[in-house]
Chain A
Amino acid sequence: MGLLTFKKGIHPKDRKDLSMHKAIQDLLPKGNLVFPMQQHIGAPCDPLVKKGDRVLMNQKIGESKAFVSAPIYSSVSGTVVDISPRLHSNGTMVLSIIIENDALYEESLAMIPRIDYEKLSIDELVAIVKDAGIVGMGGAGFPTHIKLAPPEGKKIDSIIINASECEPYLTCDYRLMLEKSTEITLGLKIILHMFPGVTGYIGIEDNKPDAIEIMKKACEVLNNVHVKPLITKYPQGAEKQLIYALTGREVGSGKLPADAGCIVQNVGSVFEIYNAVINGRPLTERVITVTGEAIKNPMNLRVKFGTSIEEVIEAAGGFKETPVKVISGGPMMGTTLSSLNTPVIKGTSGVLCLTKEQTRLEEESSCIRCGKCMNVCPMNLNPTKLNSLVLRSKYDDFEKYHGMDCIECGCCSYTCPAKRHLTQTLREGKRTVNINRRKK
């Protein structure tokens, strides 16, 4: 069968060999756990507990009344010792609940397992997903229940499981597929149940042949589900690019996957849908890849939210050499951490520690108009032109030349021989335009 893909993109070294053969290990936290009230796109949560309260594992400790939000649960049992702003992996100070772990792991049973999910209505299932606090596990953290409740009138005909894991270094989705294929398949079955008559696709890059095999086998029990091998190319897992690769449809500027009849869910989120519906467990932990040339024993860990990055790195044997950058997520779209004293949250797909050799902190030089950035941009933009428009604060022109369509994948900056900070200025341009729009 022919491999599917999108147009343009780049082929960075994937470096998945560092951790791909390491089975997922559980990590139990030692120190206090920090739960930021914002771990998703949307409204921040309000704390439901106060200082001194005893909380149970899987107890809801933060929630918002807003629709676009996701509740937060404690991953351990223990005592609330503080509620104060703490350093978040996005670099800002975010109101957080700090819990002292009593190591008893006494569980709250507020959520009910629903093995009989086929009897539930779509609204009831969406409510379970919302209540479990599930968000996109790929890093962006968009609440999953919103994707499962597309606006009236949008006909959904394809459910796409994003298992491409196109970020170099990261192997958490890969390991999850190898070790939890039955559970993922069940999660997909639940989604398919919500949208009768749709076709399911699982897109996996062809650098993970064993994952493709295992998912194919697991999906044999499902009708209308196709496991599709994709060409290993970055950003294969970008939502619009993945939809194009699998269905040939283009999601237009400012449009949502639902406009193209698609719902895209990260493979980790699908696993969590299974966990919430069948096991009655909210989202309190995730698999992360601790890796990079600066890490002694790169590995995949199942980590409870709130565990500090420092503990995670310690579990992986600590540093082999002092890293220049510590990144939450992958090397192409992850965010750098200034300090290790920040917690693992829902969107932490990896902790990547890079040495000086990989980071290439070179100075910008003048654009030589080679056009390489245009030749790799999966959105067909002209990054160097947009870059110069942002530098000259010409935001109207920035919009006119489709700057707002930039998906910030990083291909342009990756490929630029002059090492221009293209993605950075485009991101800044988008932010400024959004702020100006809000002012109006």
Chain B
Amino acid sequence: MYTVSSSPHMKSNDSVQGIMRDVIIALIPATFAGIYFFGMQAFLVTLVSVISCIASEALWQKLTHRKITIRDLSAVVTGLLLAFNLPAAVPLWLPAIGGFFAIIIVKQFFGGIGQNIMNPALAARAFLLASWPVHMTNFTVDGVSSATALAILKTGGDKLPSLMNVFIGNVGGCIGETSVLALLIGGAYLIYRKVISWHIPVTFIGSTFILTFILGRHGLMTGDALYEIFAGGLILGAIYMATDYTTSPFNKKGQVIFGVGCGILTTIIRLYGGYSEGVSYSILIMSLFVPFIDKFTALRVFGEVK
């Protein structure tokens, strides 16, 4: 008796674990950059965040008698991305609570992998920022408090860091967001491996670039667009968070709408909002529109006459 099954009998080598592994590999340069610029504390925050995410997932699945799926590595990705969105100086209980919130409240309450309506790491960051704003905005470089480039742009005060320092990541900010260089290396890897396509990152970053130049902080056409896209969490958000499969549109057309929407919201929050940074909120807001975007960008079925 041989195995009987429905066709096809050949499968590709792709797996969920393989995709998540690729994302982790892509995040390695930025992890090292974070540790290099912010020290051992950055490493500990990252470690606690990842462990908290894995443990929360395993615990939830154990308590609810589900199959434990931590081997798919998606919790590791969430843990890394959460840590990337935290300042290095936070107390270690903060990433622990953040990981718990991301996995249990945002991911598992909505049905687990593929079902959450928001990116778990981003939603957890928003939760932490609202609950412990002082810890969440205490940025340091070499142990000295240091405002982020975007905050300086917004409120003035300190001297602006150089474009070079903003590019390599030697500025105040969250652990994983400051090194544009490291993030771009990882992003290139993800596109090369076809884990993500260029549509969301390019349209997100591109629309922010164009809009910040046009609207400018000192009047029309005065924006230093290059500086603006390298500062803050735009590169991290555009490459790694906005491209989250679960909370972004299926089609290329939808992805372009999503990316441009994120870019518009980011620019508005950055230039006119109360916060100096708007990347995470713009992604969270646009994620809620994904079902609508998917509906209105549905593909024409082969042979269909519209």
Could you tell me which residues of chain B, from 1 to 52, have a CB within 8 Å of some CB in chain A? Answer: 1-12, 14-16, 18-19
224-276 of chain A: CB within 8 A of chain B: 240, 244, 250-253, 255
Cα–Cα distance between A240 and B5 once the two chains are bound (Å) = 26
**Are A253 and B8 neighbours in the complex by a CB distance under 8 Å?**
no
Q: How far is the CB of B206 from chain A (nearest CB, A)?
A: 21
User: Within the complex, which residue of A255, A333, A417 is in contact with B18, where a contact is CB–CB below 8 Å?
Assistant: A417
Min CB gap A348→B, angstroms: 15
B115 touches A366 (CB 8 A): yes
**A326-B2, A333-B8, A365-B72 given; A402·B16 CB < 8 A:** no
**In the bound complex, do residue A333 and residue B7 qualify as a contact, i.e. CB atoms below 8 Å apart?**
yes
> When the two chains form their complex, are residues A382 and B298 in contact, meaning their CB atoms are under 8 A apart?
yes
Decide if B157 is an interface residue (CB 8 Å cutoff). Answer: no
* A325, B113: Cα distance in complex, Å: 32
Whether the Cβ atoms of A253 and B303 lie closer than 8 Å is: yes
Stretch at the interface among A48-56, A191-199, A352-360: A352-360
Chain B minimum-CB-distance residue to A411: B8
Which A residues are CB-close (under 8 A) to B304?
252-253, 402
Q: Which of A323, A358, A380, A416 contacts B299 (CB 8 A)?
A: A380
When distances are taken between beta carbons in the complex, the residues of chain A under 8 Å from B8 are 331-333, 410, 413-414, 423
Q: In the complex, what distance in Å separates the CA atom of A334 from the CA atom of B112?
A: 34
In whole Å, how far is B141's beta carbon from the nearest beta carbon of chain A? 37
| B245 proximal to A (CB < 8 A) | yes
Query: Which of A213-221, A281-289, A371-379 lies on the face that meets chain B?
Result: A371-379
- Tell which of B7, B69, B246 has the most Cβ of chain A within 10 Å: B7
Segment touching B, from A73-81, A116-124, A335-343: A335-343
Residue pair A250, B303 in contact (C-beta under 8 Å): yes
Closest to B195 in A: A370
Docked pose: A361 CA to B115 CA in angstroms: 25
Main secondary structure of the interface of A (DSSP, over half): loop
Cβ B15 vs Cβ A419 within 8 A? yes
**A168 proximal to B (CB < 8 A):** yes
B63: Cβ under 8 A from any A Cβ: no
Name 21 A/B residue pairs within 8 A (Cβ), A-sorted. Answer: A10-B12, A12-B12, A244-B302, A324-B3, A325-B2, A331-B9, A331-B10, A333-B8, A334-B7, A334-B9, A335-B7, A365-B69, A366-B115, A368-B74, A368-B113, A378-B302, A408-B7, A415-B12, A416-B11, A417-B18, A418-B16
Of the listed residues B6, B15, B115, B298, the one surrounded by the most CB atoms of chain A closer than 10 A to its CB is B6
Inter-chain CA distance A188–B72, complex, in Å, is 53
Contact B10 A379 (CB under 8 A): no
**A147 partner residues in chain B, CB cutoff 8 A:** none
Chain A 306-326 interface mask (CB, 8 Å, partner B; 1/0): 000000000000000001111
Q: In the assembled complex, how far is the CB of residue A405 from the closest CB belonging to chain B, in whole angstroms?
A: 6
A358 pairs with B114, CB closer than 8 A = no
* Chain A residue nearest in CB terms to B115: A366
* Contacts known (A252-B303, A368-B113); A358 close to B10, Cβ less than 8 A: yes
